[in-house]
Amino acid sequence: MSAVLSFLNLPGLSARESAEPGFLAALAGVAERLALDPSYIAAVMSLESGVNPQAVNAHGGATGLIQFMPATAAALGTSVEALRGMNATEQLEYVERYFRIAGRAIRNDTPGDYYMSTFLPAFVGKPSDTVLAVKGEPIYDENAGLDADHDGQLTVGDVWTKIDNAVAAARTRPLLVVDPSNTKKKAPGAGATPPPASPSQASALPPSSSGASSAPSPGGGVVDDPETKRELAVFAASVELAEVEAKVWSAERLRAYWRGALGLDADASVDGYLNAAWCGVFVLWCLHEGGIAPDLHWHIGAGFVGPAKLELTKTPKPGDVAYNAHLQHHAIVVAVEGEDVHTLDGNQGWTTPIKARTRKLIDWTAFYSIERLLTEGP
């Protein structure tokens, strides 16, 4: 890491460094480990919280530097209450955990991808004209101010506009330069100029292999560790719950689950399935998001548990499948504490389509281990 660090001079960033000397050096370390641009991560913090670790949104309880939702905080191993007790430097640990998972498809030189990773992570890397919602749908109505061209459609490009404008404004100002050796902010040098629009920071991670059944990670690398894949699958489910909590979940998310589970193209029509039960489809989509068995698809009338020939287990682990034969219900296991099994359940109704539940082990008919999928595939 360079002895002197330069950042776009974004609102709140200089004040945070003054309040917590060394914060920017710690942020640079996070960005280096993720192979991402530190100024663009900072831009997300500036937009979301003004780089204030105690910022709380009155609607939904989003908290901290990047406005962690309660479900997201829990998936990262903390809580919004705990986050509120941390300073910004301490919160960076959870910012890094978040971007390592939700930001794994970020294109390094695309600020919009960074912001999308905290807004709707499933749409990171999507084309700018991708429609997220239309007027009258909750996600649009809750975020109508982001509709940059006021055409009644909220697109990926509309969401990008917010961070693109912030970055463009920051480029007109002198860089914020810090020297980690003394953790004191230095005045911008006469020759300090904003970085180019397309940073040349190279990824330290290996490129992904075509057709590899591994979870992608920042910089285009892949994750092969089975336990990490389990974590990614559970985190994907937790992010979807966070979107429900933030009231940005819409029928388009359900369409995405069906397309993924059925192995269909992104533009394929699945409206004929929208009234069908989709709890198992949600579980399979989450597994795919974790890079687990991407070639395993939903079989109408048979689900995926049978075709996958999963083995029963009496000691479920995160990522395994909880199954209730009486209700024909599937859920993804999040954690097990003694006799309590914490799950995330889809298909729970249109007002709260995904719920976090805790039931006793004996309340489930069976648990299916995904271990074989992690080692052998479908």
**DSSP string across 85-107:** TS-HHHHHHHHHHHHHHHTTT--
Intervals of CATH 1.10.530.10 along the chain:
5-186
Measure the CA–CA gap between 13 and 281, rounded to whole angstroms: 42
Measure the CA–CA gap between 163 and 107, rounded to whole angstroms: 14
Mean pLDDT of 282-303: 89
Intervals of CATH 3.90.1720 along the chain:
250-375
Q: How many residues does the chain have?
A: 378
Q: Give the predicted TM-score (pTM) of the model.
A: 0.68
Whether pLDDT at 289 is above 50: yes
User: How confident is the model over 319-373, as pLDDT tens digits?
Assistant: 999 999 876 899 999 989 999 999 999 999 888 899 999 999 999 999 999 999 9
**Given this model, what pLDDT does residue 224 score?**
66
Measure the CA–CA gap between 69 and 143, rounded to whole angstroms: 16
Fold of 5-186: Lysozyme (1.10.530)
pLDDT band at 193 (very low <50, low <70, confident <90, very high): very low
Residue 312 to residues 317, 368, 372: CA-CA distances in angstroms?
12, 5, 11
**Across 71-80, 86-95, 135-144, 292-301, which has the greatest mean pLDDT?**
86-95
Options 3.90.1720, 3.90.1150, 2.60.40, 3.10.560; CATH of 250-375 = 3.90.1720
**Given this model, what pLDDT does residue 150 score?**
92
Alpha-carbon 370 to chain mean position: 22
Whether pLDDT at 192 is above 60: no
pLDDT band at 222 (very low <50, low <70, confident <90, very high): very low
**Given this model, what pLDDT does residue 245 score?**
82
User: How confident is the model over 58-108, as pLDDT tens digits?
Assistant: 777 889 999 998 888 888 889 999 999 999 999 999 999 899 888 878 999
**Given this model, what pLDDT does residue 183 score?**
56
- Which single residue is written with the structure tokens 């990047």? 66
Do strands 340-345 and 131-134 pair parallel, antiparallel, or not at all (unpaired)? Answer: unpaired
Mean pLDDT of 141-170: 92
Supply the mean pLDDT for the chain. Answer: 84
Residue 198's nearest CA partner among 41, 44, 37, 42 is 37
Query: Higher-confidence residue: 248 or 353?
Result: 353
What share of the chain in percent tops pLDDT 70? 87
Q: How many CB atoms lie within 10 A of CB 61?
A: 17
Do strands 329-337 and 321-324 pair parallel, antiparallel, or not at all (unpaired)? Answer: antiparallel
* Helix axes of 251-262 and 279-289: crossing angle, nearest 10 degrees: 70
